[in-house]
Structure 1
Amino acid sequence: MLDRLIDGSMPPKGKSPRPTAVQIERVRRWIQQGAAWPPRLKLSRYDMTTPLGWPGLVVVQPIPARPHPLAQRANGRQPD
């Protein structure tokens, strides 16, 4: 995460403002000190930290109508 903050790939362009050098340094020091999580912020493994909705879901690519020729050969058929 820190490398991505430093090289500018996080946060993605247009998503939120870039952190300042001071903010990046704070993150670096926090990680060096063990990245302690505040005790009052206990999360269970089932707690969501970001909303889940249609805009955040990944689009699944459709399966191609025709299988790849190598897949056809693996099934003992010759490609058309």
Structure 2
Amino acid sequence: VQVGTLPVEGIHLFANQIMVKELDIRGSMRFGNVFSRAVRLLESQRLNVQPILTSKFPIAEAAEALKLAFDKTLSMKVQIVAD
């Protein structure tokens, strides 16, 4: 898990460790104003995300929630909510 911005000069990866551990590396990109726009759409209820929310768990059951979230055959979006 990487949160934040990568350095401009890039990062060094050890290819052997990636292969031995059978890791998947995925990148994603967003633009600066996308998150705030999405929040506004949710607040105004112009965007309905309920159809993709397949499960909801309390924090106490976070381990079970994550197991389900990793199985894409059983879930689309798993939500963990604060008690």
**TM-score normalised by L of structure 1:** 0.26
Normalised to the residue count of structure 2, the TM-score between the two structures is 0.25
